[in-house]
A and B are shown apart, each in its own frame.
Chain A
Amino acid sequence: MAKVIEGLYYAESHEYVRVEGEFGYVGITDYAQSQLGNVTYVDMPEVDDEVTAGEEFGAVESVKAASDVISPVSGTIVEINEALEDQPELINQDAFANWIIKVQLSDPSEVENLMDAAAYEAICK
Chain B
Amino acid sequence: MDKRTCLYEKHIGLEAKMVSFGGFEMPIQYTDITDEHLAVRQHCGVFDVSHMGEVLVTGPEAERFVQHIFTNDVKGLEAGKILYGMMLHENGGTIDDLLVYKEADDRFFLVINAANIDKDYAWISSEAQKYDVKAENQSEYYGQIAVQGPDTERIVESVLGLECKELVFYTFKHIEVDGETIIVSRTGYTGEDGFEIYGSHKFIQQAWDKLLACGEVKPCGLGCRDTLRFEVGLPLYGDELTDDLSPLEAGLGMFCKLDKEEFVGREAVAKQKEEGLTRKIVGIELEGKAIPRHGYEVVVNDEVVGHVTTGYNSIMTGKSVCMALVDIAYAKLDTPVQVRIHRKLHNGVVVKKRFYQKSYKK
Q: What residues make up the interface of A, taking CB atoms closer than 8 Å to B?
A: 37-38, 40-41, 43, 58-59, 61-64, 66
Contact of A63 among B223, B289, B342, B344 (CB under 8 A): B223
Report Cα–Cα, A62/B227, bound state, in Å: 12
Closest residue of chain B to A37, judged by CB? B32
B147 sits at the interface (CB 8 A): no
Closest residue of chain A to B293, judged by CB? A66
Report Cα–Cα, A58/B342, bound state, in Å: 7
Task: Tell whether, in the assembled complex, residue A40 and residue B313 are in contact, meaning their CB atoms are under 8 Å apart.
Answer: yes
Q: Max chain B CB contacts within 10 Å: which of A43, A61, A64?
A: A64
Report Cα–Cα, A66/B290, bound state, in Å: 10
Q: Binary interface profile of B, 154-194, with partner A (CB < 8 Å = 1, else 0)? A: 00000000000000000000000000000000000000000
Contacts of A66 in B (CB 8 A): 291, 293, 342
Contact of B223 among A41, A43, A58, A64 (CB under 8 A): A64
B28 sits at the interface (CB 8 A): yes
Known interface pairs A63-B223, A63-B227, A66-B293. Does A38 touch B32 (Cβ–Cβ under 8 Å)?
A: yes
Report Cα–Cα, A70/B349, bound state, in Å: 31
Closest residue of chain B to A65, judged by CB? B293
Task: Tell whether, in the assembled complex, residue B290 and residue A63 are in contact, meaning their CB atoms are under 8 Å apart.
Answer: no
Known interface pairs A61-B291, A63-B313. Does A37 touch B342 (Cβ–Cβ under 8 Å)?
A: no
3 residue pairs, one from A and one from B, having the closest CB atoms: A63-B33, A43-B342, A41-B289
Contact of A40 among B29, B291, B293, B344 (CB under 8 A): B291
B34 sits at the interface (CB 8 A): yes
Q: What residues make up the interface of B, taking CB atoms closer than 8 Å to A?
A: 28-29, 32-34, 223, 226-227, 289-291, 293, 312-313, 315, 341-342, 344
What are 15 A-to-B residue pairs whose CB atoms are below 8 Å? A37-B32, A37-B33, A38-B33, A40-B313, A41-B290, A41-B291, A43-B341, A58-B342, A59-B342, A62-B33, A63-B312, A63-B315, A64-B28, A64-B33, A64-B223
Contacts of B33 in A (CB 8 A): 37-38, 62-64
Q: Max chain B CB contacts within 10 Å: which of A37, A43, A62, A63?
A: A63
Task: Tell whether, in the assembled complex, residue A37 and residue B29 are in contact, meaning their CB atoms are under 8 Å apart.
Answer: yes
Contacts of B223 in A (CB 8 A): 63-64
Report Cα–Cα, A75/B169, bound state, in Å: 60
Contacts of A41 in B (CB 8 A): 289-291, 313
Contacts of A64 in B (CB 8 A): 28-29, 33, 223, 226
Report Cα–Cα, A64/B310, bound state, in Å: 11
A10 to B: closest C-beta gap in Å: 23
Closest residue of chain A to B227, judged by CB? A63
Contacts of A61 in B (CB 8 A): 291
Contacts of B293 in A (CB 8 A): 66
Task: Tell whether, in the assembled complex, residue B290 and residue A43 are in contact, meaning their CB atoms are under 8 Å apart.
Answer: yes
Report Cα–Cα, A62/B293, bound state, in Å: 12
Contacts of B227 in A (CB 8 A): 63
Closest residue of chain A to B31, judged by CB? A37
Report Cα–Cα, A78/B226, bound state, in Å: 39
Q: Max chain A CB contacts within 10 Å: which of B28, B293, B341, B342?
A: B342
Closest residue of chain A to B37, judged by CB? A63
Q: Max chain A CB contacts within 10 Å: which of B32, B289, B312, B315?
A: B289
Report Cα–Cα, A21/B344, bound state, in Å: 32
Closest residue of chain A to B342, judged by CB? A43
Closest residue of chain B to A63, judged by CB? B33
Closest residue of chain B to A88, judged by CB? B289
Q: Apart from A61-B291, A62-B33, A63-B312, list 19 A-B contacts with CB within 8 A.
A: A38-B33, A38-B34, A40-B291, A41-B291, A41-B313, A43-B290, A43-B341, A43-B344, A58-B342, A59-B342, A63-B33, A63-B34, A63-B223, A63-B227, A63-B315, A64-B33, A64-B223, A64-B226, A66-B291
Report Cα–Cα, A116/B293, bound state, in Å: 34
Contacts of B29 in A (CB 8 A): 37, 64
Report Cα–Cα, A23/B341, bound state, in Å: 28
Report Cα–Cα, A59/B291, bound state, in Å: 10
A88 to B: closest C-beta gap in Å: 8
Report Cα–Cα, A97/B28, bound state, in Å: 29
B82 to A: closest C-beta gap in Å: 30
Report Cα–Cα, A61/B291, bound state, in Å: 8
Contacts of B32 in A (CB 8 A): 37-38
Contacts of B291 in A (CB 8 A): 40-41, 61, 66
